[in-house]
Amino acid sequence: MPALASHRKPRTRVRTTTPAVGLTTAALASVTLLSTQSAMAAPAPKAGIEDVQKQVDDLYRQAGTATQQYNQAKEAAATQRTKVDALLDDVAKRADQLNEARRTLGTYAAAQYRSGTIAPSATFFLADDPQSYFDQNQLMNRMTSRQQKAITDFRTQQTKAAKKRAEAVQSLETLTTTQTTLRTSKQDVQKKLGEARALLSKLTVEEKARLAELERKKEAEARRKAEELAKQQAAAKAEADRKAAEAAKEAGSGTGTGTGTGTSTGSGSSATTKAEKVLAFARAQIGKPYVWGATGPSSYDCSGLTQAAWKAAGVDIPRTTWDQVKTGTRVATADLRPGDLVFFYDDISHVGIYKGDGMMIHAPKPGANVREESIYYMPIYGSVRPA
């Protein structure tokens, strides 16, 4: 009986391994390609103009800090140089004194060598008479005393000269260290200013315009705050005047009141006169360029201007902002008077001269000139009244 053909359909073999591998590889390749294209098509976002403004302001502030470090090191180097010069002069004088003492000793030694030494008994027998012996013996005793003094003087001068030489060497080493700090601070200033210029140079025309607009808004807000302070100060003054008038009215117009008023006015007049001189000097510098490390007369940095202004009023204040802030009396912002010094930033790296109505005169930063500006343009640290 012939075999019957099977009606079952043959099973179709499904190959899953190879195509799956091929699909996975293709998918990975596609993802990699897309990622690469995306990376090429979407570069890192450029910093916004607000970020650029913040970076530039921060770099200028850091440059201001480095400038104060430079000023401090420069002043210390000058002081140390004066000390070293004085010590070297002293060493030279002591060397002359030592040489003179050495010559005196040499004279005695030569005299003793030429005369030799004679025993006292021989001197007695060789003398013409006893009185002559005693005269010669007294002379020799005096000579021995002078020799001892010469030796003592020589040793004293030798010790002092060695001490002064050691001081001079140490002072020279300190001067070298200070000069190194001076160079480092100078390099730091130049580096920060270079970074700020580099950031600004990369801005497009549109970005520069936007940056200028941000500056205008910042200045406008600072002026608004200054106007508010001016109103507050005017109101406070009016109230103080009113109370003073009432007190004077109640006290009457006797001789004692007149004398008291005269004394108070005299004291206030002295302070007012100094403040007027400070502001007159500061106003005369408006328009002169800011140059870090400069103290005038053609250019200034911030603390160089404040120091020169108060010197014009007959008051010497230190060179750096860090030392100036310790001078005089601390005053609150609400109590500021013309001539007071206003300091900025937590590191006290900037200072200006208060002129009234919330405004100041200051040397702002590299690339800018001495000008009037609101004290609220920068974060206030504190204020002092030097005198």
Active site residues: 302, 350, 362
DSSP string, 90-131: HHHHHHHHHHHHHHHHHHHHHHHHHH----HHHHHHHSSSHH
Q: CA 317, CA 351: separation in Å to the nearest integer?
A: 13
Please report which helix (H) or strand (E) contains residue 43, including its range.
none
* Under 8 Å between Cβ of 346 and 381: yes
User: Of 97, 115, 95, whose CA–CA distance to 107 is shortest?
Assistant: 115
Helices and strands: H and E segment counts in the chain: 8, 6
Backbone dihedral angles phi then psi of residue 369, each to the nearest 5 degrees: -105, 165
The residue written with tokens 């108070």 in the block is: 264
Q: Which of 229, 387, 225 is nearest to 316 (CA)?
A: 387
CA distances (Å), origin 53, targets 50, 157, 350: 5, 65, 18
Structure tokens at 266: 């005299």
Q: Between the CA of residue 106 and those of 113, 118, 150, 154, 161, what are the distances in Å? A: 10, 20, 10, 11, 19
| Cβ neighbours of 172 (radius 10 Å) | 16
Distance of alpha carbon 167 from alpha carbon 178, whole angstroms: 16
Residue indicated by tokens 């020169």: 308
The two three-digit tokens of residue 123, written as one number: 């001197």
Rounded Cα distance between 282 and 353, Å, is 8
Looking up tokens 């001490």, which residue turns up? 163
Phi-psi group of 116: left, alpha or beta (phi > 0 → left; psi -120 to 50 → alpha; rest → beta): left
Please give the Cα distance from 280 to 150 (Å, whole number). Answer: 64
